Structure 1
Amino acid sequence: MASAYNRVINFGAGPSALPVSVLEEAAQGLLNFRGTGMGVAEISHRSKEFQTFLDEFEASIRTQLAVPPTHRILFTQGGGTAQFSAVVLNLLARYRLLHPERGADETVVDYVVTGSWSKKAAQEAARLGGARVHIAADAREHGGKAFDHIPAHGAYRFSQDPALVYYCENETVDGVEFSHDPASPASFPYHLLPQDTLVPLVADYSSSFMCRPIPRLADHAVIYAGAQKNIGPAGLTILIVREDCIVDVDAAARLGAAPVPLIMSYKTLADSGSLYNTPCVLPIYISGLVIARMEANGGMPHYEEMNKRKAERVYKALDEGEKAGVFRRKVQKGSGSWMNVVFEVLGEGAEKRFLEGAEKLGMKGLKGHRCAGCTCFIQIYMLIHGSHRAQIRWRLVALILL
């Protein structure tokens, strides 16, 4: 059916490609949403039909990720970048309510810096003020200037009582990802966090949301994900927030915390059922269709296994290219992402030939992020709903170019 629409294989890292079946259903919903006679982009977000859809969307996420009742699922706008600010403001408000006697000099926020996005998040925390930013680990300090690996557990130095601990599970630009194998040195060191307390652990899952289960989800205070990297169009951000982090930000402000814009307040979102203002209805609708399709196809077990196989195929092709001297990995083995594989094409004009050859076979979006700082940097994004055909065809292109 995809060929009937003249569609190419889209490897773009965001906005992501979407399943044709979902796009077809969404097209119908744009004309007549659930028999209302109105399109989903026209219907009131407070209608019973849209509210029912939103409830189903939330329930499907909760079921597939096994989100415990201690956590709320919220929907908002602004992408992951807005959460760089919202996380800091909400968790500093929480900390001030817990410790009203402590000022900014006595408050610390911990950041694990493993790539471009975690670096930006730490910079935003420093810009906002209200706490000292402590870099608990920086991948560049243990192996060179590049973000090419996840630090080993011995590199981490967490604070005793931080207002938050932040990490980015998968760095889209740099192609590094925390391992989900707890025995791996590239896994997140949960055992090094402060013990016997509700640690305000924050994770950016934008690039890998719903590709496989989230390890120790219940131990996180906040998980957020911009939907456009994996499950839908740009505009929607999904939050999973522990109840103790949904606080009265105005009460905290009266004690000296920075005021939090209402639309960034987790309490505002929670109290209004994510409908304080008009939400991004169309991205919610399409993302909800993708999540429903995932559940119908077997949910997390199915997609985890499928994504594992896809990653293995791509890395196998990359290994063959390295042996032939035409590719070079940008990420150390053991730290590579399942979702975006980054590498260089070696040789004068080789990258151009590679991209042109891929384009002739209907594959686009292979060139890397503009922030990579390297012109011969190619990124492959493996979507949760992509077919193996795309990876097989990519591998054939690699072998042809050898």
Structure 2
Amino acid sequence: MSVKRAYNFNAGPSALPLPVLQLAQQELTDFKGTGMSVMELSHRSKEFENVLNHAKETLTELLSIPDTHEILFLQGGASLQFSMIPMNFLGKDQVGAFVLTGAWSEKALKEAKKVGETTVVASTKEENYRSIPTLDRAALPSNTAYLHITSNNTIFGTQWAEYPKFENIDLIADMSSDILCRPIDVSKFSLIYAGAQKNLGPSGVTVVIIKKDLLKRIPANLPTMLDYNTHIKSNSLYNTPPTFGIYMLSLVLDWIKEQGGVTVVAENNKKKAELIYSSIDKSNGFYTPHATNDSRSLMNVTFTLPNEELTAAFLAQSKEQGFVGLAGHRSVGGCRASIYNAVPLEACQALAAFMDEFASVHA
């Protein structure tokens, strides 16, 4: 039986792969012969521990995570990481260095300021974050504790094309909205964190990939739940984790593997993005992109129309045709198409065709 699905371009929580939802539906009341849902299993049970370990193993395989790093499944979203990171790694005589590329990097900076000394080493705030800034090694203080970046900016539609590389500087990245969208060299990062609700699964789980060498810097007497060592020692099972979210994340990772892995997913993401950017670029200015060409995101395509009346008409007509989540954030206005891994190519083809037709009628 065919399933009617919306063209889901929500920024997050966002689209999940249909096969993942269907498998979860099949297993909902009886997970692998247990007679229980995953939501009912004890997090101390062998059955759930197998789910968690499978998720770790699959993520390790997909991202080629070296054994120098640990994987954690935590709660509190990426927003809790804004506080945990400086509490664990921003020493008394050190400075946390931040690159500002949007709202989420601003929030990370705000929380770090409550813990210790910080500095902004690059920013494009003055241009309303239309691009990723260039970064000079000389801007980093000699006592830099770590360099923090946000790899993709959902609101503004920008993404780092290449990550900064500085010897003896710990690079920390919030990858909540683009993890697994393309291959990365995990060894170049001291810590990666990502809320699940864009590319990894449903909301409620946060993945942290952390270099083991960092752990020796964690100060004593931190609150137990805010100490990364607590969760590493207990394999993310110190307290009851979001068991169903981890299970769904595991299924999403299996789905990515079945597609051919991150390289194949990246090729598909590029095709999806090119479709929509092409409709923008050939519209003769009817659609105006927010991001500069060299900073365009593969995950979030942001654009404006000539006026508010046309924007309202665009959103109303797109909704009638089954498109969901295309309204832009108030910081930018206009429209935004979030095309995360699980958004199918067909949805992007349909959106590009709609954009072309709308522009031909109203330009």
Interval containing the TM-score (normalised by the shorter chain): over 0.9
CA displacement at 1:85 relative to structure 2: 0.4
Match of 2:164 in 1: 189
CA displacement at 1:313 relative to structure 2: 1.0
Structure 2 residue 124 is the aligned partner of structure 1 residue 139: yes
Q: Separation in 1 of the partners of 2:306 and 2:274?
A: 22
Deviations 1:61-113 (CA, angstroms, capped at 9, x unpaired): 00110000000011001111010001111113xx4xxxxxxxx3x32110011
Structure 2 residue 171 is the aligned partner of structure 1 residue 201: yes
Q: Separation in 1 of the partners of 2:263 and 2:324?
A: 29
Alignment of 1:266-285 (within 5 A): 266-285=228-247
Q: 1:328 to 1:156 in 2, by over 3 A?
A: farther
Alignment of 1:173-322 (within 5 A): 173-179=155-161, 187-190=162-165, 193=166, 195=167, 197=168, 199-214=169-184, 216-247=185-216, 249=218, 252-253=219-220, 259-321=221-283
Q: 1:347 to 1:248 in 2, by over 3 A?
A: closer
CA displacement at 1:248 relative to structure 2: 7.5
Report the TM-score when normalising by structure 2. Answer: 0.95
Q: Separation in 1 of the partners of 2:59 and 2:263?
A: 14
AA aligned to 1:342 is T
CA displacement at 1:261 relative to structure 2: 2.3
CA displacement at 1:282 relative to structure 2: 0.9
Structure 2 residue 134 is the aligned partner of structure 1 residue 152: yes
**Does the 8 A contact of 1:136 with 1:156 survive in 2?**
no
- Where 2:354 maps in the other structure, the secondary structure is helix
Picking from 87, 90, 97, the partner of 2:88 is 90
CA displacement at 1:174 relative to structure 2: 1.2
Q: Separation in 2 of the partners of 1:137 and 1:348?
A: 33
Deviations 1:287-326 (CA, angstroms, capped at 9, x unpaired): 11010111122111110111111111111011122x1x32
Structure 2 residue 101 is the aligned partner of structure 1 residue 114: yes
- Where 1:163 maps in the other structure, the secondary structure is strand
**Does the 8 A contact of 1:137 with 1:156 survive in 2?**
no
Q: 1:308 to 1:156 in 2, by over 3 A?
A: farther
Match of 1:379 in 2: 336
Structure 2 residue 362 is the aligned partner of structure 1 residue 392: no
Q: Separation in 2 of the partners of 1:393 and 1:23?
A: 22
Q: Separation in 2 of the partners of 1:78 and 1:247?
A: 23
Q: Separation in 2 of the partners of 1:124 and 1:319?
A: 38
**Does the 8 A contact of 2:8 with 2:325 survive in 1?**
yes
- Where 1:31 maps in the other structure, the secondary structure is coil
CA displacement at 1:30 relative to structure 2: 2.0
Identity %: 36
Q: Separation in 2 of the partners of 1:290 and 1:74?
A: 17
Q: Separation in 1 of the partners of 2:54 and 2:164?
A: 34
Report the TM-score when normalising by structure 1. Answer: 0.86
Match of 1:329 in 2: 289
AA aligned to 2:295 is S
**Does the 8 A contact of 1:110 with 1:164 survive in 2?**
yes
Q: Which moved more, 1:149-158 or 1:42-51?
A: 149-158
Alignment of 1:1-150 (within 5 A): 3-4=2-3, 6-92=4-90, 95=91, 104=92, 106-126=93-113, 128-129=114-115, 131-140=116-125, 144-150=126-132
Q: Separation in 2 of the partners of 1:227 and 1:357?
A: 31
- Where 1:238 maps in the other structure, the secondary structure is strand
AA aligned to 1:213 is P
CA displacement at 1:348 relative to structure 2: 4.7
User: RMSD value over aligned CA atoms?
Assistant: 1.6
Picking from 345, 351, 357, the partner of 2:311 is 351
Long gaps (5+) in structure 1: 96-103, 180-186, 254-258
4+ residue runs of structure 1 moved beyond 2 angstroms? 152-156, 246-249
CA displacement at 1:114 relative to structure 2: 1.0
Long gaps (5+) in structure 2: none
**Does the 8 A contact of 2:178 with 2:340 survive in 1?**
no
Aligned residues between the structures: 359
Q: 1:137 to 1:331 in 2, by over 3 A?
A: same
Q: Separation in 2 of the partners of 1:314 and 1:177?
A: 16
